Amino acid sequence: MNFEQTKTAENLAKTIVIESLNYTNLKYATEIISKNKSINNLLIKISKHDFAHAKIFIDILTKKTSFNIESMQLIVDLSLHLGDIENLLLKIAQNKRKLALDTYTNFARIADEEKQEEIKDIFLNIAKIKAKQSNLLYNYYKKLSNNNLYNPNKEVKYECINCGYTLKAKSPWKKCPVCNSPQEFIFSESFNIESNPTTEKSCFNAYEICKTKKITNKKLLDLK
């Protein structure tokens, strides 16, 4: 079968739209929550990864088909604009979780059926990265909505993103004692580490489920 006629080629084209939308939406989100530098940095980092993912898929597709990126037009999901920072983070985390546990795992299953071994692995590896992205965003969402981003009830190391000042304490400064930056400039590794529902393992469980049942496991997708 001609590669252009495979479902996998079609799925690759879809991923480019998905990743570009992800990238655009994250760029957009960074503008909305530019105040909180720590979340902002995370969103910028993730948006760069999404951009790289789009590039990976574009490269495969242009190498294997007559696909032309110039013909694609992209839009921003304006629904992101609704709601507060917490909800914005939750929405993006949900979206990543869906990619990890549904979209990309299904694309991997189809690629496997069509004997596109290499592309299957790329889909699965990127699903894993999406799961990680979902976790990071979900952690922030949880901490912000429980009001304990800066009150973890244990001693952790904080860093001022602006000047680099660090402090190990139970709760950080309101204003950086060195550069006067507000609390939104504080970053801590503790923001990123906590048990989370979207794990690499759940990714592969989802893959196994869709491989055998060939359906979406709706139960896995619910995040909240």
Footprint of Zn ion (CB under 5 A) = 160, 162-163, 165, 176, 178-179, 181
8 A C-beta contact, residue 60 and residue 8: no
Output the six-digit token pair for 55: 């590039």
CB of 35 to Zn ion, least distance (A): 16
Q: Is 161 exposed, middle or buried (0-12, 13-18, 19+ CB in 10 A)?
A: middle
Q: How far apart are CA 95 and CA 46, in angstroms?
A: 13
Nearer to Zn ion, 113 or 184 (CB): 184
Nearer to Zn ion, 152 or 182 (CB): 182
Angle at 222 (CA atoms; ends 218, 224), nearest 5 degrees: 170
Nearer to Zn ion, 123 or 158 (CB): 158
Phi and psi at residue 175, to the nearest 5°? -130, 135
Nearer to Zn ion, 76 or 169 (CB): 169
Nearer to Zn ion, 83 or 177 (CB): 177
8 A C-beta contact, residue 195 and residue 135: no
CB of 163 to Zn ion, least distance (A): 3
Nearer to Zn ion, 8 or 183 (CB): 183
8 A C-beta contact, residue 165 and residue 179: yes
Q: How far apart are CA 84 and CA 145, in angstroms?
A: 10
What are the helix and strand counts (H, E) for the chain? 7, 3
CB of 183 to Zn ion, least distance (A): 11
CB of 155 to Zn ion, least distance (A): 20
CB of 179 to Zn ion, least distance (A): 3
CB of 178 to Zn ion, least distance (A): 5
